Each structure stands twice: as C-alpha cells, then as structure tokens.
Structure 1
C-alpha cells in the first residue's frame, strides 16, 4: 500500500534536526496547531464541521498520527472514538524499500492481519534477523502499531538485542531510532529515546532509567494514564535489570529485580514465570525473597519449590536445595502400584498425577537439573504398572536422559522390560503405536547401549558385535558409527569401520546436494530445515571421526545460517571447531548451545571437554 504522506524514515536525523531553520520550526508549530484544531473539531456540535475535520485529518495522513493517538484517550468520548477510527484507517507501509529481503518477507501483509498473536510473532521474528537488520521496521511498529502492547513489545525487543561492539555501530542504531520515532510521545518511544542516548554514550544511565521507571510507576499507581500498566512497567524494569547486568552494575540489577516483587501478579503461572526469569539471570536472592514474601503459594507448587531449590544451589547451599527438592517431589505423590490407596483411585486419576510429575520432570531437565528430573521420572516408573502408557513413555524419556549421561546399564534397565512386554503382548504394542515406541526402535537403542556398556567393561568383541548389529538396523545413525570408530580393534575391524564411514559420509553428502537443489528451487521454511539437517548430519559425523574437517565446519556454519541459534546445530558447530583445533570458538559456540539447549547432558559434557582443551592449550603456550 502507498502512504498518503512520507513515512518517518524520511524524517531528518538528530544531527540534521539541530540545523533546522527557524522557518521550519515555525512551519512545524503551525502544522501541529492545525492538527490540534481539526482534532478538537471532531467533537463539534455541527455535523458538517465534524465531517470536515475528518476529511482534513485524513488528508494530513501520518503527519497527524501522533496527535490522533493522544486524542484516542480524549475526555470527550466522541473525539476519542473518531480519533481511533481515523488511526485504524491510516495506510502504513510497514516494509520500506530499503529494508533487506528477510524483513520485507516478515512484514508482508502485516497491516491486514487482525490477529494480535500473529503480529506479536512477526515482531519477535524481526528482532531475530541478524545484524539488527530489523531495527527500522521495529521502530515503525513502536511508533505506528495501533496496539500499545505490541508497540511496547517492539521497543523492549530492541532494548534486549545484544550489545553492539563499536561506537560507530551504536551511533548508527541511535540515529535510526531517533529519526524514525520523530516526536512520538508513546511510552515505548520515550523509552527508546533514552536507550538511544545510552547507545551514543556507550553506557547504561542507571539514574535516568530509575527516574523514568519511577515516573511510569506513578502513572500506573495513580491511574493517570491509559497508555501504560503494571505489566508494561514490570517488563521495562526487567529489561533494565538485564542491561544493568550487561554494564557490570550487579548492585543496580539486583535493586531493580527486587523492585519487581511488588509488581508480580499472585497467580501460579505469573510466579513461576517471575522465578524463572530471576534464575535465568542469576538473581537467586530474588527467588528466595519471593518465597519469603509468599510462602503459602510456594509450599503448594512443586515448580516454585524447585525454583527456590535451584536458587539455593546458586547460593552454594546444596543441603537446603535438596531438602526443598524432596519437599517438591512429595507434593501429590503417586501411591505405590500395589497399595490400597492405588486400588481406590481411578486409572485416569493416577495417570493425571503421573502426567503432572512428568511435566515437572521435563521442566527440570530443560533447566539442567538432571538429578531432580530423574527423581520425578523414576517416581512415575516405580509407581505405575508398565502397561500404563504414561509409564512406558516416561521409561523411554528416562532412558534417553540416562543415555546422554552415559549411564548405559540404566538405559537397559529402563528399556528391556518394555521390549519384553511388547514382544509378548500384541495389544500393548498396538496401544503404544502413537508414542513413537516401536519394537525396532527399541532394539536399536538397546543394542547401541549394550555395545557401549561392553566397551566400558573392555569386552571389545561383544561391543563390536552389538554396535555392528545396531548399525545394520539403523544405517543412518551417525552416533552408532561414531561409537564403532572409537572402539579399538584389529585391522579387519578398522577396515570394516572405514567402509561404513565412507558409505555414510557419501550418503550424507548426497543428502546435502539433493536438499540444496530443493532449497534453491523453493526456499520454503521446510526446505531450509531439511537442508540444515542434512548439512548437520555430515558435519557431526565427520567432525567426530575423520574426513574433511574444513568442509564439515563450512556445512555446519551454513546450517546455522538457515536455522540460527538451533542448539543441536550449535553443538555440532562447536565440535567442528574442536576438530580443527580452534578451542576458543569451540567453547564460544558450545556455551551458546548449553544456554539454548540445556536439557541434554551431552551438551554440557561437550562444553567441559572443550573448555579443558582450551585451558590446556593456554597453559602450554604460556
């Protein structure tokens, strides 16, 4: 759509604005006065004058946007309603001709979407476009998005983007923000002007932000503005706390985080979200303070108790942490399978309790609290008969976790009873069809981990046989072949492994070529994901065995271009850097993988391996 007037991208930069002539200033003042006049006429008693006012304001287009937005809360309801209608009718080019293709794609038909959730998703995608390429589009959203909530979301996402490394880049971003916001006085625009000033000076101005937050809070507490609310201020304070941390001002970050306690709604989900945020930013004292302020809701909710337990771990108090974790596990415990209490409960009631414990286990695993997650999973496995579907699914999930922790006997203990039951009970096998548990998949995992267990026990021939059998059933499983490659053996074994390695490497290379062709023909999200997977398969196999390590690194880097910040792909890229001896970048990528995909113990273990190599390299060179 074309704009009735030039967009904000045509506004002068701050430097140019300082040179604006007196005549231009006077012209702008007169224009603003004209807009205010027509807005007031929207409430005139004369129908003809109201119609004339609407016509003139439409003619003025986006020039009138800011004052129309202010008028949307006018004390005269007729003026307010007319102003809102005029705002909704303004035509806005959400994508500018200067925007890069990814931004244009995200913003295509943005103005036609009446779904706020969809628009919010697009705003989030804009913030993820590399190199801040979505900054200009986000600034337009801050200024022109009719939803104040989405306008604030866009501003906060801008403020949460990674710190720019050079003064030139920071100044360029600040100039973009100032030029696009113009004279807009929305709360989000006010926040961004302060942020832009911080960018220019390369600081976090704690005093200025504190004053701004106090002003926002006073507006909320006094109910003196419809343009802000407690939720908006809470998010602003959290963003400021993180920015204070980034500026190495931990005391200010803690002060701001403590200030949020009065703004957190009392609901279960809100408390969990607040505790999670604090833990994610190493603000452990905030979680402990939350429990002290609201002991009753914390005592009834396992996830909140686990959050406090994690906070005590961060405070180097593992005894208190384990006591709280045990208290959390005891809430809504499942009765023993053969107990009278279990007999008196319906099957559905027991399964619902089990699902709740499983959900908690998944959350704990995602936070890297593996032992607590195992306790939750084991509670289900130990309390339910194996023929209960949720018990079977939990066995599989627990086996995966044990496998990532290299506890191969524990994997077998979980899966062998499941395999035996499926072999002897066709009806049970049918009931598990929708769970991704099949006799063939179980056989592969059991053979794989049995082989790894034999290798640990130095039973090399048995290990070779088990792993070879597993690979025969799953000839695309790179992890099995990697385990075979790492096994000692005679020349016959080494030759067999090399043949398998050549065949799988060639197969994965062909997958890359085929998916690259499909992606070039249609670069859809599905094709991008499939190509990234093919590239990752090759890179993971080669970087863990032998071959063209440089090509593996290029493939891994390409996969991350297609699927940025995918933890699995980051994990592979870290391994590729490690393979070529670049331990610094290996640690950098792996640290990012742990942050984004902390639910896999193998990712943590690989980081320790890379860090040890980096430390050893530093010692040898000193």
Structure 2
C-alpha cells in the first residue's frame, strides 16, 4: 500500500488578539516539547476551562466571544483537540469559530530537539514543501529504519490542519505494520504519546493500531466502523477524504485479517471493497455488471492466491447469482476448488462454465489462456478447440487459439507435427489468397500473428524431425524459424540450434554469437525496464540452456520471481539455472515446486526427472534437452 499527501497549511497567530508577552510565552512552551502539554499534565481544571471557553464562542455577547477566542489562541496546543471536536458542535456559531481558531493557533509540532537527525531534516523541510514534496516526506518518514519516523508521522496525524494529509500520515504508519511487529511496544508507546486523546479520525486509527500491535490476534471491530465512516465521507464531506484513502484503509484491514486468519472479518472488508468499487464505477458511468465482474474476478484471484478459503467460500455464496451466470467467474471458482483439493467439484464447475452459451469466441480464447496459466490445460484445450472450430481460419481469435493450443498442449505432449499442421492451416490459406494476405499485412497485429505462426510452424517441424533423427532437416527448419522472427530472438530456437548435433565449428560459432547478441539485447531491455519480470526470465532461460554466466542466470531468475512470485514457468527456469550452475539440490527443489503448481505440464516433469537422474548418478550440467 502506498500513501499520498495533500496540501498542508499552518496559519500564524494574529498579533491583533494576542499581546507580545503571551505570544512569546507560548512560543517558548511549544518549541521545546509540545507533547508534554498535549498528553501529560492536562488537568481536569484546565480541560474544564477550555470547554467553557469553547461554549462561550456561541455567546450573544460579542465581547465575551472575542475574549474566548483570545484565551483559546493563547492556550494553544492544549486547546487544539477540543477545538477539533467542536467543529461538529450542534451550535453552528461554535462550530464555525472552532474551525476558524484552529487556523489561528500555532502549534510548533514539526521539529523536536530530541528527534533523530533524519527526522529533523525531513520535518524541517515539511512546512515549505509543495504538495508532491510533502507526499514524499511522509513516505520517507515511514521508510526510516527502526520506526524512528513514527513519532513525526503521528504528530502530523494529530496536528496537521488538512484532514487529508493527517490521514495519509496515519496510513503511512499502518502500511509499515510488518516492520512494526518486531517493535510493537516501542511503536505503540510513541503513537500514544503523540496522539493523546485527539478525536480526529487519523488519530483514532492510530490509537486502534497501537492496541493492535500489542494484541495482534484480536482484530478490533472498530476497523470496519472506520471503513464505513470514511466511505460515507466520500459523498458527505469529500474535502476530508478520497477514494484512495478509503481503499488504502480497506487494504490494510484486508491484509490484517488475512495475516491473522480472521475469515469473517476479511470477507466483510472484501464485500465493502467490492461494493465501493462498483458504486464508484457507476458514478463514472461504467456498466455495473461488467464492473462487478471485474472486481469479483480480482477478489476471487486474490483470495485464491492467498489461500483464504473461508473468505473465498463466503464470497462465492454472497455473489452466487452473478458467478453462476458468468463463464470467467465459474472457471475461477473451479480453479480455486482444485487448489483446495476438491477435484471432483472443480471438474463439475468447469463443465458448467464450458457449457454456458453466453459469451463470444474472443472471450473463450482469453479465458482459456488464463486457465492454462493456472495449469488446467485439459479445460483450456476444450475452449481452444471450440474457438478453432468456430472462428474464421485467418482471424485473430483463430491464430491466438492455435498458438496457445499448439504450445501448451500439442508441443508439450510431443505432438510436434500436429502442432505444425495447426499453424500450416492458417499460413497456407493466407498464402493461397492474395487479397486476404494483403488485408492481413495491412493490420499490424495480424501481420505479427501470421509471422509468428510461420516461425512456430518451422520450429515445431524442426522438433518433429529432431525426434526422427533427421538433423539436416531439423537445421533447415530451425534456420527458417530464425528468419521468420520479427523482434526479440526466440530463446527456444537458439537453444535448439545450440544443441543441434553434428554441426561444424563455423555453424556452432555463428550460433554462439547469436546467443551472445540475444543476451546483450535482453540486458538492454532489463536496464530500460528493470521491473519487468519477463526479461529476467528470458535471459536466464536462454543462458542456462546454452552457455554464459550461470551465476548471473540464477540471480536474474530469482529477480523474476521477486517481481512475479510463485510463477510456475519462472520456477521452472530457476530449476534449470541451478542445474546449469551445478547445484542439483536446488535445481530439484525449485523444479518440484514448478511441477506442483503445473502438474499437467509434461516438459516440466521431464526436466525434473532429468535433474533427479543427474543427482542419482552424480552428474554435473547436462546440456541435452529434457
């Protein structure tokens, strides 16, 4: 969760209502240790006096009102919390004057003499910072080690005049919960010292958070109340909150419930999030049903990935009418049931999803790709075959479905000639019809797809000839596949060329140079897009199956999994990288994880068997294809 900031204003006290002596006295008090005045030593008599002065703000007597204003300004920080609370007073005059006075009181809370240097530097820059810079300061405070920025963030949540900024500061604290768990007592004490009994929303969140840190197993019902109250403010008092703030608060509660295994509360927060996002979509003019579908899909995927089965079941029951009428959502539920080990139920739901008559072939093709990513190739195969049967041969839907079906199923099962034939049906039809060919070449997306099908046809043909021992024919079709590439070099083609037996030194040297060039090209993409997992995986797969820096391949593969955790394909690559580096134990460890996540992928199983055999025989790196 990331937090944002809004504008911050601190209005200086007017000299018209204060004497120079009282102003100097107040400055001396609050430049040293304002929390000693706001939290400790707030005697009952002083509190009673402050409340009487606030009540006096509603007096019919002008002079009494002015006297009350002057004294409250003079009291300063002690009166801050009570004036905050008075903003909601039933007496409109009192509420108005309380809001006005909050902008007249100077509370010098920003810099403390005993703050760590990093905190003092950031807080010193805070008053004159732009909105963007203030947002960054809050984030920097939250990121400081040993939670040393919590006190400053709590002060912002307490005294910041902008309710938006105060809430962002509080959310920045909440967002660091994982770090705070190890320093629970220290963080809780710091929060309580700074917040005191402040009635504002941001302070209430932090007080509840402090309790949460010291009693993590008990999740306060206040969190759901906070979420509901904040949600109401979006329409009632939009200047005091934002959709971003509400969603961040929800996200904190969702993760809290997930971490502490509270499925009922987790579902309640998820339901609120779903309803809120649908409602916001309606305000933006988005169609409700499509909006609900998208948000439900993300919720089902999240609960499934988190293995929050009880919360997922509750979501399924609550939105059952929507789910049972939607193929995509039904498949997600089927995948979840399979993940839970309920294979019979999963298969029955998948059949229901397939048999739904609504939807189009484009949707079916996209859904099949998603199903395959979760390892259910048998379900995906039925969808791809239906698309291939119903779509025009040279249509985008047909090409997409054929590519996926050939790669995920036919090639994986070793049916390479069938995979090549599936590509050939499209390529031959296009080549036989000049008008069709011209229309495809004029469409960028279709032009790329037909080129990719040509490449795949040659590659699958080469794989089939390899199994038959026809390496001359294999080389011919690999060279054609390499020539049909339109952008980034396909690592599997280069790997096949590298492993091609019986080639002369000149050919092998040419392939080695292509591999080096391809690796360099991908390195440039990694430098340009450092947070794109696919390029780290691409480089690692190419090098670990050929030659190069195997240690770097392991590091790149690990980075891809940091960016895309638990990806079966990336785990498969990591297994291969460790194998190339000679670490057979880790190779088997990660390969088994890949197989567990994608048990239907035969190439992953073959690679695992090869690793296990190598360990049993004490072999080092084997460059042969698994």
Q: TM-score range by the shorter chain?
A: 0.5 to 0.7
Q: Distance in 2 between matches of 1:608 and 1:11?
A: 70
Question: Equivalent residue for 2:163?
Answer: 146
Looking at structure 2, the residues matched to 611 and 56 of structure 1 have their Cα atoms a distance apart, in angstroms, of 83
- Asked if 1:470 corresponds to 2:481, the answer is yes
Aligned CA distance change for structure 1 residues 177 and 419 (closer, same or farther; 3 Å): farther
1:224-253 per-residue CA deviation (whole Å, 9 max, x = no partner) reads x999999899756533331124xxxxxxx3
- How does the TM-score come out when normalised to structure 2? 0.63
- How far does residue 449 in structure 1 lie from its aligned partner after superposition? 2.9
Q: 2:343 aligns with which of 312, 318, 321?
A: 318
1:428 Cα offset (Å):
3.2
Find out whether 1:412 has 2:429 as its counterpart: no
Q: CA deviation at 1:447?
A: 2.1
Q: Distance in 2 between matches of 1:134 and 1:395?
A: 57
Distance 1:545 1:141, change over 3 A: farther
Per-residue Cα deviation, 1:155-202 (whole angstroms, up to 9, x for no partner): 66444x5897xx4x66676677667766555566555555556656xx
Q: Deviations over 1:283-304 (max 9, x none)?
A: 3344445444554333222233
Check the 8 A contact 2:87/2:95 in 1, yes or no: yes
Q: Is the 8 A contact 1:92 1:111 kept in 2?
A: no
Q: Distance in 2 between matches of 1:589 and 1:62?
A: 59
Match in the other structure for 2:41: 26
1:299 and 2:324 equivalent? yes
Rate the CA distance shift 1:593–1:182 in 2: closer, same or farther, 3 A.
farther
Shift of 1:25: 2.0
- Which residue of the other structure, out of 227, 247, 257, is the alignment partner of 1:241? 257
Equivalent residue number for residue 379 of structure 2: 372
Q: 1:124 to 1:405 in 2, by over 3 A?
A: farther
1:616–1:445 Cα change, 3 Å: closer
8 Å contact kept, 2:411–2:460:
no
Deviations 1:102-124 (A, max 9, x none): 9x9xxx9772599xxxx8xx999
Contact 2:365 2:384 in 1 (8 A): yes
- Cα contact 1:404–1:601 (8 A) shared by 2: no
- Provide the secondary structure at the position in 2 that maps to 1:303: helix
3-state DSSP of counterpart to 1:421 = helix
Q: SS at the partner of 2:303? A: helix
Distance change (3 Å), C-alpha of 1:213 and 1:421: same
Structure 2 distance, partners of 1:325, 1:218, is: 36
Instruction: For 1:618 and 1:195, locate their aligned partners in 2 and report how far apart those are by CA, in whole Å.
Output: 53
How far 1:324 moved relative to its partner? Answer: 1.4
Contact 2:303 2:312 in 1 (8 A): yes
> What secondary structure, in the 3-state scheme, does the structure 1 residue paired with 2:392 have?
coil
The answer for the alignment partner of 1:111 in structure 2 is 131
Q: Deviations over 1:422-469 (max 9, x none)?
A: 333234314532456254333223222332343345544433332233
In structure 1, list runs of 5 or more residues that go unmatched. Answer: 246-252, 335-352, 520-525
Partners of 2:613 and 2:490 lie apart in 1 by: 32
Superposition map of 1:558-569 within 5 A:
none
Where do 1:373-388 residues align within 5 Å?
A: 373-388=380-395
Rounded to whole Å, the distance in 2 between the matches of 1:68 and 1:332 is 62
Match of 1:279 in 2: 304
Change (3 A) 1:473 1:33: farther
Alpha-carbon offset, residue 322 of structure 1: 1.7
Residue 357 to residue 142, structure 1, CA distance change in 2 (3 Å): farther
- Please give the alpha-carbon distance, in whole angstroms, between the structure 1 residues aligned to 2:185 and 2:586: 28
The match for 2:622 is: none
Matched-pair contact (CA < 8 Å) for 1:88–1:146: no
Q: CA deviation at 1:481?
A: 1.4
Bigger RCO (CA 8 Å, 6+ sep): 2
Alpha-carbon deviations, 1:328-353, whole Å to 9, x = none? 2222346xxxxxxxxxxxxxxxxxx3
Q: Give the conservation status (yes or no) of the 8 Å contact 2:458–2:480.
A: yes
Counting only pairs closer than 5 Å after superposition, residues 403-482 of structure 1 correspond to structure 2 as 405=412, 408-409=416-417, 411-423=419-431, 424=433, 425-430=436-441, 432-435=443-446, 437-474=448-485, 476-482=489-495
Counterpart contact for 1:284–1:314, Cα < 8 Å: no
CA deviation map 1:63-121 (0-9, x unaligned): 98766665554444566677778989999999x9837999x9xxx9772599xxxx8xx
Distance 1:230 1:401 in 2: 41
- Once the two structures are TM-superposed, the CA of residue 326 in structure 1 deviates from its matched residue by 1.8
**Residue-pair matches, total:** 553
Aligned-partner Cα distance in 2 for 1:127–1:571? 39
Relative distance call for 1:484 and 1:296 in structure 2 (3 A) is same
Bigger Rg over Cα: 2
Name the structure 2 match of 1:98: 118
Distance (Å, rounded) in 1 between the aligned partners of 2:593 and 2:202 = 30
Structure 2: tracts of 5 or more residues without a match: 1-7, 13-26, 279-288, 619-626
- Cα gap change, 1:80 to 1:551, in 2 (>3 Å): same
Distance 1:368 1:426 in 2: 35
Quote the residue 1:332 is aligned against: 357
- 1:505, distance to aligned residue in structure 2 (A): 1.9
Per-residue deviation, 1:222: 13
**In the alignment, what sits opposite 2:18?**
none
Change (3 A) 1:299 1:578: same
TM-score, normalised via structure 1 length: 0.63
Query: CA separation in 2, counterparts of 1:47 and 1:180?
Result: 35
Residues 214 and 50 from structure 1, CA distance in 2 versus in 1: closer, same or farther, beyond 3 angstroms?
same
Deviations 1:446-503 (A, max 9, x none): 2223323433455444333322332344483333212333x3512x357633542245
Q: For residue 22 of structure 2, what is the aligned residue in structure 1?
A: none
